[in-house]
Amino acid sequence: MSQQAVAAPPFVANLAGRAGYLTRPVRLLREYRREDLRYDLVAAVSVSVMLLPQSLVFAAMAGLPPQMGLYTAIMAGLFGALWGCSNQLQTGPTNTSALLVLSTVLPLAAAGSPGYLAAAGVLAVLVGVLRLGMGLLKLGILVNFVSESVIVGFAAGGGVLIIAAQMRGLLRVEVSESAHLLEIALGIGQQLPQAHLPSLALGLATIAVTLLIQRFRPRWPGALIAILLSGAVVYVFNLTAYGIKVIGQVQGGLPPLAHLPLLNLRLIGDLSIGALVVSIIGLVEVTSVSRAIATQTGQRLDSNQEFVGQGLAALFSGLFSGFVPSGSINRSMANRQSGARTPLASAGGALLVLVFSTFLAPAIAYVPRASLAGLIMVSALGMINPRRIARIWHSNRVEAGIMTLTLVSTLLLPLQFAVLAGMVVSVAFYLLQTSTPRVVNVLPDENFEHFVPAGKRPVCPQLAVIEILGDLYFGAAQHVEEAILRIMAQHPDQRFLLLRMHSVQQIDITGIYMIESVLKKYRERGGDVFLVKLRPLVHEVMQSSGFEGVLGQDHFLREGEAIPHAFYHALDPAVCIYECPVRVFKECQNLPKPAHVHDVPQVPAQVLEGFAGVSPRNLYAELRGASPPLVIDVREPREFRRGHIPQAQNFTLRRLLEETPDLPRDRDLVTVCRSGRRSRRAAYALQQAGYGGVRVLEGGMLAWESAALLEAVEEFS
């Protein structure tokens, strides 16, 4: 008896897929190759050498004790590597995360106080939960709403704030803690006469050493060398006796479990907006870093897996006495350049920080706070990227405005609101763009190969060709309809519309109603609407909504057949030949140009299509019968002479439109032209003149010739 596999319900499959995000370390260890170990160990050492001093610097930048930076480096480095996606991304404390922590927590408590430390830990837990939830729920698309302009403006403004704030430590002046530039500048200006010159000299020396190493020996760990040198100088020359303040005793070893007020709903409410902003900004930073590295390695990334890793990194960093981490661009690039092949290199770097901080804790205690302030200022200077700022400034005025707004808001407002302001403006600009798609009157180019904007070129007096450059959803439908109505008002004689929709990726029911409204207005004019170049998804919506039946299936045209179909089946040939002074389309080029423009009344297409037709063979049989109809050939004389139906009379369409024909009224009349367009117009003119029983030769002389029927020829050419 055979057994058939039963497919799991969709919700079970979704749960299994999300659970797979949490088992990432198992897959990582199972797939690990022994030959990668040597490369990962070398990269781990390189990363740890950078991570150790940066942990101290960024903790101080966030207003936290140095050991919290070390704990963040250890816990975030482990969880971010083992549960993340990128092979080279290094997770830990960064200048951006430190600045966001400072701005979010400082309004709630004094920097360095027990309440401040507890709030920083709770913030990390909240951020971890939010990032983890975004990853498990596959909501990574949210980070796309933070534009590059917002990030660049925020980073530049944050860099200025950090440099200004660290002047306190560099000058060793007593200025109240604040995240506002004006308050910092005013306080430093008032306390400048009390600046401690030895601290200033030591801090400037640290900055100089760091910058010189970066300039001439970029592969050397400049920050670590500068910190060890400054600590050695303080220890050897006993500079604490001269008023130099040092970090003091640093607790090494394993990160301890923090006792956080996680049930304090008021504190959680106060931190909620900041937690959301910190979560999104950190994920944007992580995404940009991991993608930049992936372009070099060719690795395929799973953003949701990376968000899970960042969520666990922040969560356990907060639970074990750390603060909010993020992805570091400089450490990640160094990890990649050092040969890291798997995430175990970043995890190894975090473990080495644990080892080094345990054994180097006595040396770290002698690091002067002025030197730490100098290193923070160097790091903050790197946040201001003149090249990216200039590129945005010169590329787009709106993007430049968003960048400037974010930068100024960062300097004057709490940072979380500054970022939100930039995000709101970015989203508003996006909505404005998508809700006002361009609606362009287009014409064929000189070679009749592509459609281009009409500009000031004359357009067809009967057919409007309009292109919609954007989606048709509820926010854009009214704008598109108003634009089409303006074109209708500018060209009141245009009764037909060819709507080109290849740029319409999405359409909703409001967009369908809009096209139905336009269709109604054109049909009230006696014309019609045709659609061309529809996306499959858009066509599906039109079918499912019933719009295809309203418009007519034959009104959905292919690109190559759209203009010929309108030319041969919809437009009034009399207007084309005797009234229109322009030849817009390729099909118009063989038409004779009118010597003068006639006032030709337009006739609805359905009226012209309503005349009875006769096939070539039936007409041939009738002509050989007892009561043959009178054949009226409405072509030009030169066409008539080259070949016509025997016994036919040549009475051009121009004459029919300019004078009342004198034809027998006791015989049936059959009008003939080349393809059937002019003959239908002639039939209408004869009917208006009082002639009854008028028919049209179906397919014109082209059909007659295809049937190999007899022709009379008066001229050879």
pLDDT in tens, 34-92: 999 999 998 898 788 778 888 988 898 899 998 999 999 999 999 999 999 999 999 99
Domain 610-706 adopts which CATH fold? Oxidized Rhodanese; domain 1 (3.40.250)
pLDDT at 143: 66
pLDDT at 5: 45
Top-confidence residue, 635 or 267: 267
Q: 438-579 and 610-706 share one CATH topology?
A: no
Q: Which of 415, 409, 412 is nearest to 181 (CA)?
A: 412
pLDDT at 671: 94
Q: Would you place residue 345 in the very low, low, confident or very high pLDDT band (cuts 50, 70, 90)?
A: very high
Residue 203 near residue 229, CB atoms below 8 Å: no
Q: Which of 414, 324, 376 is nearest to 120 (CA)?
A: 324
Bridge partners (DSSP) listed for residue 463: 496
In this predicted structure, the answer to whether residue 510 has a pLDDT above a threshold of 70 is yes
Catalogue the active-site residues.
Answer: 673
Question: Distance between CA atoms of 161 and 650, rounded to whole angstroms?
Answer: 90
pLDDT in tens, 155-165: 788 788 878 87
**In which residue are the tokens 């020359």 written?**
237
Which amino acid is located at 311 in the chain?
A: G
pTM of the complete model? 0.62
Bridge partners (DSSP) listed for residue 448: none
pLDDT at 592: 67
Determine the 3-state secondary structure of 469 from DSSP.
Answer: strand
Residue 297 near residue 87, CB atoms below 8 Å: yes
Tokens of 643: 């070949």
Instruction: Rounding to the nearest 10 degrees, give the CA dihedral for residues 631, 634, 635, 640.
Output: 30
Q: Could you tell me which residues come within 8 angstroms of residue 615 by beta carbon, excluding any fewer than 6 positions away?
A: 698, 703
Backbone torsions φ then ψ of 443, nearest 5 degrees:
-140, 160
Taking residues 631-653, what's their average pLDDT? 88
pLDDT at 272: 93
Top-confidence residue, 445 or 338: 445
Q: Is 706 exposed, middle or buried (0-12, 13-18, 19+ CB in 10 A)?
A: exposed
Residue 240 DSSP code: G
Question: Distance between CA atoms of 241 and 37, rounded to whole angstroms?
Answer: 48
Question: Distance between CA atoms of 705 and 701, rounded to whole angstroms?
Answer: 6
Question: Distance between CA atoms of 339 and 334, rounded to whole angstroms?
Answer: 9
Using alpha carbons only, give the angle 501, 506, 425 rounded to the nearest 5 degrees.
110
CA 565 to chain centre: 37
pLDDT in tens, 230-257: 989 999 999 988 889 888 777 778 999 9
Taking residues 358-385, what's their average pLDDT? 83
The sign of the CA dihedral 654, 655, 658, 662 is negative
Q: Which of 231, 212, 232, 229 is nearest to 220 (CA)?
A: 212
pLDDT in tens, 125-176: 999 999 999 988 887 666 666 677 887 887 788 788 878 878 888 888 877 6
Q: Which of 370, 413, 411, 383 is nearest to 185 (CA)?
A: 411
Instruction: Rounding to the nearest 10 degrees, give the CA dihedral for residues 541, 544, 548, 550.
Output: -120
Q: What average pLDDT is seen over the chain?
A: 86
Determine the 3-state secondary structure of 472 from DSSP.
Answer: strand
438-579: CATH superfamily = STAS domain (3.30.750.24)
Q: Could you tell me which residues come within 8 angstroms of residue 560 by beta carbon, excluding any fewer than 6 positions away?
A: none
Taking residues 692-714, what's their average pLDDT? 86
pLDDT at 13: 46
Give exposure, 324-344, as e/b (b: 16+ Cβ within 10 Å).
bbbbbbebbbbbbebbbbbbb
Domain positions in the chain are 66-227+256-347+374-423, 438-579, 610-706
The sign of the CA dihedral 602, 605, 607, 609 is positive
Taking residues 173-196, what's their average pLDDT? 78
